[in-house]
Amino acid sequence: VGSDIRIITEPSVYLVGRQSIDEAAMAAFLADHGVTRWTTDTLVGAERLVEAAGRVAYMSFAKPRPGGNKAYIDHLLESGHGSVLEAAVFNLIITGVSRSLSHELVRHRVGFGYSQLSQRFVDESGCAFVVPPALAVEVAEARALADRGTFPVGALTGGAEAGMRWLILMRLVQEFYADTVDYLLGRDQADSGVGQDKTAARKAAREAARSVLPNETKIFVTANARALRHFIELRAHPAADAEIRRLAVAVWAVLRDAAPALFSDYQLTDLPDGSQSLSTPHRKV
């Protein structure tokens, strides 16, 4: 149960899609409405689109107030005009998270779309496991001992014992999965003989064997800025589960770099246990 079992200790967040504004179409719209010129000071598509959406409401393109795009979006946040933030959409691929986390993530329904790795179509016999943050030190200690192969079985105590129990359980789960897929494929082939649909048989075997898998998953998430802000608010809160809180902070960091005017009003706090949380004065806009 040493390095031969794949362990993940951090999530990865890939921002794979973001918007750009069609300047020609925008200019055509403005010209059709007697506006000769609209200038804003951001090149970020999401931020330009949010401003454009907001300005359509009052047709305020011609005489913007001073302060630029950031001041405009700050005003939206302060006045709770959240529907305008739905104009900005981001596509993220999230990996290195547990199935428990993805179960919590998909509870966020409004403004979110998901595509998650299928445990029926994809073979999971070499799957990785996400260490719960609270057991990270213990599992690392147990792995180091297992790799050295020096510990007398049953003689571990404290943290190493807790970490080793987790590793052994994950290994058993993986073995059960692989053995059960083999067993079910063999049994069903014997029952139905030649001509059986192999893809359907593999799906049936994997969907039964996955009943014990608590493993890593990958998920493609599409969401608008308003929905993402709500997710960050709830899940980067100190009361949230440690793994999803770590993810929410990572998602925020990616989005803040991509669209600072939409996501830079959050305060990052270091918590006593070494983890982090986020808060904002602009709650649930």
Ligand X SMILES: Cc1cc2nc3c(=O)[nH]c(=O)nc-3n(C[C@H](O)[C@H](O)[C@H](O)COP(=O)(O)OP(=O)(O)OC[C@H]3O[C@@H](n4cnc5c(N)ncnc54)[C@H](O)[C@@H]3O)c2cc1C
Q: Which residues bind ligand X (CB under 6 A)?
A: 107-110, 230, 234-235, 239-240
Query: Least separation, in Å, of the C-beta of 239 and ligand X?
Result: 4
C-alpha 213/C-alpha 173 separation (Å) is 7
Q: Please measure the distance between the N-terminal and C-terminal CA atoms of the chain and give it in whole angstroms.
A: 47
C-alpha 285/C-alpha 265 separation (Å) is 12
Please pick, among 48, 210, 229, 235, the residue that the annotation labels catalytic. 235
Give the residue from 264, 271, 277 showing the smallest Cα distance to 237: 277
Give the residue from 37, 53, 117 showing the smallest Cα distance to 87: 53
Which C-beta is closer to ligand X: that of 53 or that of 240? 240
Residue 48 is inside which H or E element, if any?
helix 45-58
Query: Least separation, in Å, of the C-beta of 173 and ligand X?
Result: 25
Residues sharing a CB contact under 8 Å with residue 49, sequence separation 6 or more, in sequence order: 19, 21, 87, 88
Which C-beta is closer to ligand X: that of 83 or that of 264? 83
b/e code 34-70 from CB counts within 10 Å (16+ = b): ebeebebebebbbbbbbbbbbbeeeeebeebeeebbb
User: Residue number with the shortest CB distance to ligand X?
Assistant: 109
Which C-beta is closer to ligand X: that of 107 or that of 283? 107
Which C-beta is closer to ligand X: that of 113 or that of 186? 113
- Using a 10 angstrom Cβ sphere, with 0-12 exposed, 13-18 middle and 19 or more buried, the burial of residue 128 is middle
Query: Least separation, in Å, of the C-beta of 229 and ligand X?
Result: 11
Say whether 109 is catalytic.
Answer: no
Query: Least separation, in Å, of the C-beta of 107 and ligand X?
Result: 4
Which C-beta is closer to ligand X: that of 104 or that of 161? 104
Query: Least separation, in Å, of the C-beta of 160 and ligand X?
Result: 31
Catalytic residue annotation: 235
